[in-house]
Structure 1
């Protein structure tokens, strides 16, 4: 995919990078990142950075989300040193920082303005008051839907919908003979793919991963209701092959006009409203993540794709220079100057949401900020829990456990097992792993 950009560099971005790489005059940074739209855009702007920093060259390793997580986790745990900058999320940062695997980012330059970072996001990427990863973009989750299809079907999606509202609307919007699917949701297995969505959905149903003694809760009525309703929506109103669909696949379906409702990361809003890529750009409405009637919880999703430096990097000064550039206010201005304010990386800086130009061009801005601010990662469930995290459980073992459960639930979506069997397998497998890890005595 080739992206051509006009030459423009925000003055703030230049200031933010000044002086950080002076000790390393000629280095090549290897950056591992995810194949999301905002990251692809950043790669297209690399020449702006290297022009301002001629002693630094950049090599990109761009990977699908699950593969990225696997490779960077292996590399940092073994101190392999393959990468100078890692694209990681709010799950990894506190765990890896505690292990001493990440370089603190408390010296990104006088113009970086760490205080401008949205507090919930900054706190999620910090330990003991020090920032260990700089957020490139942050997100919660929300409902995106086709306003024209809803009107034609005679249904209304309120600003704060319930799951009953969503299922009623999805049914009314479905016309499979015309390849028009009422709802698109993540089905691809992975702790950060289908389990990110399903954990958020389970939270909104009043479920929890573990009780206060770390016993798995997949045999609870709340998880039974969550998975049953998810499979009903996907089997009756969703697209074929949904067990292979993650964020990018569903984004493409929605942009092509094949999804009536898509519930996913708020960062998707700029892509579904982009008239150059989305056939339905002027027909998209937004609503809060749904809740189950009687449950005062709306998913509690909070994530930030962030840039961090592994302690094994031998180009740390240059890496800080790049991170200061890519996550600065100046970079936001650079993107806005080339593609409009709607395309600015969302969710990281308070100043963006105070910008009248951004508010005018981004109809999703208010809903995005409200969703991020509403996330409660300290208590993701209405029930008592021993863990933190929104759409994940913030323990090192969760990557393996979450992916294994995701495989069971994806198999159920593919028709390879029943919901009851998938939940039973998740309960048995998670109990075994948590006992082996010493959580369950």
Structure 2
């Protein structure tokens, strides 16, 4: 960013976007958000917002990912009006916007510069060209690994690895006697927890959730290969209790030096390279999400945790004022001023990746941008599919069926059933639900 943009920090930037809610006095906003690190940072900076907007106060409801999804989905579907600002993802936005559950963000201040949003992210959060949520941070998925352990083990992880490369490296770097595990992957059940990862992995193996007639494909060779390799890596080289580990648990393990390889959201890179919180900050390498040999697909993971205004909010203008602050260029500069450029929320704005200071401070910036640009959510599988969505299937029923399948796969990871049994159960259950919903005639 140039010096003009950098100057828009603190009260200066906030005043620039304070006009939306000027007519609403003494408003209290209730903001529902996820307990990820970037959102915690935003919550800690609330005073910067209220200082420039003294007639608006903010109350936070900060929840674990699965619980957040349950509560905001229930609230918006019933028009409960409990929240004024929702933290939702690329899955919910187009579905909820088409239900008229979200307030359009087509009247943001001119200096918000919506054209600066990364095209893939902006498109994912829009319906018919209208923006319905503003991205706080965006992500794809990539490999994060310990360069020191790789060197000691004599293995090389290329910039674009295959799963064969990853399995071999995980085996070589496993040292369970010293509580160093070769690989950490999501195991906690949930459509956005273990199924976010496993669906991306399945995509990279050439699998698909449904054929063109909406018939589930868990009985395919590609899905069996996915689950076999996932369970093998996790049971032989992974940490104990992995079926309870999601993003935050694996982040903690990696920061503590207990994981040699972690494959997850690119947003994690800023935390694993933070010397204040990560014991391995100076020895982390990055690579693209792996693919199976012969399959031209690196998972197609694309996600943005975004802020939206539910139609049931009684203070939509004040809510837009808050969103303009939290997702604008001024907030990025504010974070850089207080915590350094490495801590800036990634994956949302082109200007961030053109900023030389950010590129220097964030060694993961180039791989993050490469991973996000490589995602093709319009065609997440190399096979023909009737759906869109990347690491999820963009239909309303996916929350239920995705979580159900995630529970079966997590049980297999915990040793309660075999891979074949988990896949057979997924095939049966999803077939039943898709027939009930009318997809399968």
Distance 1:9 1:50 in 2: 14
1:257-272 equivalences under 5 Å are 257-272=257-272
Is 1:23 the counterpart of 2:23? The answer is yes
Q: Are residues 1:391 and 2:396 paired?
A: no
Contact persistence 1:187–1:243 (CA under 8 A): yes
Structure 1 window deviating more from structure 2 (18-27 vs 400-409): it is: 18-27
User: 2:154 — aligned with what?
Assistant: 154
Is the alpha carbon distance of 1:12 and 1:217 closer, same or farther for their aligned partners in structure 2, counting shifts above 3 Å?
A: farther
Deviation of the 1:23 alpha carbon? 1.8
Structure 2 partner of 1:376 = 376
What is the CA–CA distance in structure 2 between the aligned matches of 1:395 and 1:203, rounded to whole Å? 17
- Determine whether 1:62 maps to 2:68: no
The Cα of 1:12 is off from its aligned counterpart by 6.0
8 Å CA contact 2:190–2:403 kept in 1: the answer is: yes
User: How far apart in 1 are the matches of 2:227 and 2:363?
Assistant: 32
- 1:128: how far off? 1.1
Structure 1 residue 285 displacement after superposition: 0.1
Q: Quick one: structure 1 residues 400 and 173, their matched pair in 2 at CA, closer, same or farther if it must change by over 3 Å?
A: same
Q: Which residue of 2 aligns with 1:4?
A: none
- Count of matched residue pairs: 434
Which residue of the partner structure matches residue 180 of structure 1? 180
In 2, Cα distance between the equivalents of 1:20 and 1:250? 40
> Do residues 247 (structure 1) and 247 (structure 2) align?
yes
- CA deviations on 1:365-400 (whole Å, 9 max, x unpaired) are 000011111100000000000000000000000000
Distance 1:290 1:16 in 2: 43
Unmatched tracts of structure 1, length 5 or more: 1-7
Contact 2:33-2:87 at 8 Å conserved across structures = yes
Give the C-alpha shift of residue 110 in structure 1.
Answer: 1.3
Note the C-alpha offset of 1:17. Answer: 1.7
Structure 1 residue aligned with 2:403 = 403
**Residue in 2 aligned with 1:273?**
273
Within 1, Cα distance between the matches of 2:86 and 2:250? 25
CA distance in 2, matches of 1:73, 1:314: 18
Q: Which consecutive residues of structure 2, in runs of 5 or more, have no partner in the other structure?
A: 1-7
Work out the CA distance in 1 between the residues paired with 2:205 and 2:390: 14
TM-score w.r.t. the length of structure 2 is 0.98
Shift of the alpha carbon at 1:13?
A: 2.6
**CA distance, structure 2, for counterparts of residue 43 and residue 210 of structure 1:** 40
Q: Give runs of aligned pairs for residues 189-268 of structure 1, distance below 5 A.
A: 189-268=189-268
The Cα offsets for residues 46-82 of structure 1, whole Å up to 9 and x where unpaired, read as 0000000000000000000000000000000000000
SS of equivalent residue, structure 1 residue 20 = helix
Inter-CA distance 16–405: structure 2 relative to 1 (3 Å threshold): farther
Cα distance between partner residues in 1 of 2:154 and 2:11: 50
How much has 1:18 moved relative to structure 2? 2.4
CA distance in 2, matches of 1:11, 1:40: 20
Q: What secondary structure, in the 3-state scheme, does the structure 2 residue paired with 1:206 have?
A: coil
Cα distance in 1 between the residues matched to 2:380 and 2:136? 24
1:89 paired with 2:89, answer yes
Distance in 2 between residues matched to 1:83 and 1:38, nearest whole Å? 20
Aligned equivalents of 2:206, 2:104: Cα separation in 1: 37
Matches of 1:258 and 1:12, distance apart in 2: 43
1:438 matches 2:423: no
Assess, with a 3 A threshold, how the Cα gap between structure 1 residues 415 and 243 changes in structure 2: closer, same or farther: same
**Partners of 1:11 and 1:330 within 8 A in 2:** no
Cα distance in 1 for partners of 2:391, 2:17 equals 34
Cα distance per residue 1:97-141 (max 9 Å; x no partner): 000000000111111000000000000000111100000000000
Tell me, yes or no, if the aligned pair for 2:102 and 2:310 is still in contact at 8 Å: yes
Between 93-102 and 8-17, the greater mean CA deviation after superposition: 8-17
* Rounded Cα–Cα distance in structure 2 between residues aligned with 1:180 and 1:121: 36
* Cα shift at 1:9: 3.7
Once the two structures are TM-superposed, the CA of residue 154 in structure 1 deviates from its matched residue by 0.4
Say whether the 8 Å CA contact 2:11–2:48 is kept in structure 1: no
C-alpha separation between the residues in 1 aligned to 2:13 and 2:225?
49
**Alignment check: 8 A CA contact 1:380 1:389 kept:** yes
